[in-house]
Structure 1
């Protein structure tokens, strides 16, 4: 359910000199598109990556420690061909140990220290779209107004960049219409040096992000 609010409207009466013509009306345009096409994204393991217990002696005191990579399967099923892109939103914004749109935070320890970071990486070679023989990725840093040349190179999904897919290499036309997409994504996780963490008690990795579909 969406909450709605009423904005107060104040009408001012203005005395107009007879020989001055003033417009007494204003136009309002309400636009939108109702479409029968809808897509459902699903991540394997309910979108959860669990590293279990991580022992202090397995982490570096003065350097960042990269944990073993984890993988999740992403499936997107649409009830008709749809043109869309993907974008991530960090629900722990500001807690990544590196300030970059491709890194997401693991929250903070009890003393407020940033615990680490993770990224979500897409590989076109691990992505299947409908019955296409090969898939390329393309991205946009302008909200879909312009697109990079499509490529087969893997890429981490960003919080400010759209990620889309096409069947044409070297194209800047943007994503194509897709009905079904499946991809194996790799999660790379890094922990801050233990010298920068409060380990007087258990530290919980608490990363949370939302993978959003943007219809184009």
Structure 2
């Protein structure tokens, strides 16, 4: 009996003398949208030299439409919902209601981009931007507009707006689609101020500048 007690006590002491071991487990990774590129073939829309005699003293003068291709690429294996947001870097030079007078009541100053001022601080004019011929992954698609930074969407117009406006693309229902590639044309049309309000005795430069941002939706 005493022998058995001694054996059990030895086993207890041996177990109690073991050192506890531990190892760390880490879980890593990231969740991020696909990386998309946004390119404009010709980032400068150049109207060249404009003959003052072609401009009206009493009415605004529309210039010709000019366009340049643009493309969005998100890779062949990673579709994304994206949009374009525009910022007018010459917003302070807009002529109020200029585009309403030229294109209709829906073309509020949300779609009116400034063209700078001349040496006497007179406003040169403005321009509109449209997204034309949109093709996503080989299929023609329509342009969507959000007036509240993407909270809701509506279809029907191709004009690229400012402030809280974002443009995207749809097929079927009016909701942004996921896409790998998108191509189209940025179409610009400038409108020049009445020459009665614009001194042309010295050189006047068209100085429109906007930043187009690719947004993940």
- TM-score, length basis structure 1: 0.76
* 8 Å contact kept, 1:98–1:117: no
User: What do the CA deviations read for 1:177-213 (whole angstroms, capped 9, x no partner)?
Assistant: 1110000221111000111012221001110001111
Query: Which structure: greater helix fraction?
Result: 2
- Residue by residue, what CA displacement relative to the aligned partner does 1:16-65 show, whole Å, maximum 9, x if unpaired? xxxxxxxxxxxxxxxxx7526111111122x1111111111111111100
CA distance in 2, matches of 1:193, 1:70: 21
Q: Does the 8 Å contact 2:83/2:214 carry over to 1?
A: yes
Contact 2:33–2:216 (8 Å) recurs in 1: no
Give the count of matched residue pairs: 174
Distance 2:37 2:82 in 1: 12
Q: What residue number does 1:18 align with?
A: none
Which protein shows a greater Rg?
2
CA distance in 2, matches of 1:131, 1:118: 30
The whole-number CA distance in structure 2 between the counterparts of 1:36 and 1:101 is 29
1:54 paired with 2:50, answer yes
Aligned counterpart, 1:141: 147
Q: Is the 8 A contact 1:66 1:188 kept in 2?
A: yes
Gaps of 5+ in 1: 1-32
How many Å separate the matches in 1 of 2:166 and 2:33?
23
Question: What stretches of structure 1 move > 6 A for 4+ residues in a row?
Answer: none
TM-score, structure 2 normalization: 0.76
